[in-house]
Amino acid sequence: MLKNKLKIMLISLGIVFFISVSIFGGIGNKVGKTAYATSNTTYTMKQQKSDYQEVKNVLAGLEKSSNKNESNIIKPNSRGKILLYNSHSCEKNQDSTIQQVTSDLKLKLERKGFTVEQNVTKFAEIQGYNRAYYSSGDWLNKQDLSKYVLCIDCHMDSTPCAIESDYKNVSVAKLMFPNVSQNPNLKAETTIVNRIKNGLSTFSDKIYRENVTHYKKGIIYYCLDKSPNMILMEIGSDKSNFVSCQRANTLVSSAIERAFK
């Protein structure tokens, strides 16, 4: 009789131990998925919460000054390198140039832990606007593009009206990712763009426009053939303003962070 009671007690203790391990193990796995590790840093839940707060602040029109928050910028050289440049460097909107908007995107991507290089060469002034892709293409041919997880040629669309989205009662410049059907890297490019769009969709599908262009080769494939990690991105239009572009940059940098985590 005593042996049976002891046996039942040991079985009960074993069941309690198994349940405890399962519960705490599950919690550990959940935290692990949220605070995922990279080679030299860990993107913690605290940092993730800070990023979401940044999005909330920007959408509320309370854009943070990067100069006041330098201590919060994460630059671990660990989440991969991103290249930013502007083939049409002369493009501008109501109160800012495409290079200024691209510089803002650079800061936001650095906060996500990426190492970001921005080329500020005025390619549109070398051979003219219509041959700007030849100028940027010549420069790209001299670069080791394999070291970048993503290369973005940032533009502004030229339209009769501002391309904006009324999102949470504030204006956000809409994004578009033009492509060409005969781009040798079309499959890889489309995969990257879809991953970024999926990230944007967590906020709203209204933030980006579907590709409304129907190019075959464009002008030397718009340099999209230079690397499988190359994309074009239109940030608003010439009728947009800097604040609406900043909001778009905040959202797309979050989407890129998710796409390459």
pLDDT in tens for each of the 261 residues of the chain?
Answer: 544 555 555 555 454 444 443 333 332 333 222 222 222 333 345 555 555 566 556 554 434 433 344 334 445 556 799 999 999 999 999 999 999 999 999 999 999 999 999 999 999 999 999 999 999 999 999 999 999 999 999 999 988 777 888 888 889 999 999 999 999 999 999 999 999 999 999 888 889 987 666 789 999 999 999 999 999 999 999 999 999 999 999 999 999 999 997
CATH superfamily of 43-259: Zn-dependent exopeptidases (3.40.630.40)
User: Residue 158: what pLDDT?
Assistant: 87
User: Residue 161: what pLDDT?
Assistant: 75
CB 230 within 8 A of CB 154: no
Can you name the residues that pair with 155 across neighbouring β-strands?
Answer: 234
Local structure of residue 214 (DSSP, 8 states): -
Our CA angle for 65, 78, 54, nearest 5°, is: 25
User: Residue 223: what pLDDT?
Assistant: 98
User: Residue 105: what pLDDT?
Assistant: 97
CA pair distance 158, 40, nearest whole angstrom? 41
- Residue ranges of the domains in the chain? 1-34, 43-259
Distances 189 to 57, 69, 92, 116, 255 between C-alpha atoms, Å:
31, 34, 26, 19, 16
Pairing of strands 164-167, 148-157: unpaired
User: Residue 39: what pLDDT?
Assistant: 28
User: Residue 31: what pLDDT?
Assistant: 27
CB within 8 A of 67, min separation 6: which ones? none
257 membership: H or E segment, kind and range: helix 242-259
User: Residue 16: what pLDDT?
Assistant: 45
User: Residue 43: what pLDDT?
Assistant: 38
Q: Which of these, 184, 178, 194, lies nearest to 227 by C-alpha position?
A: 184
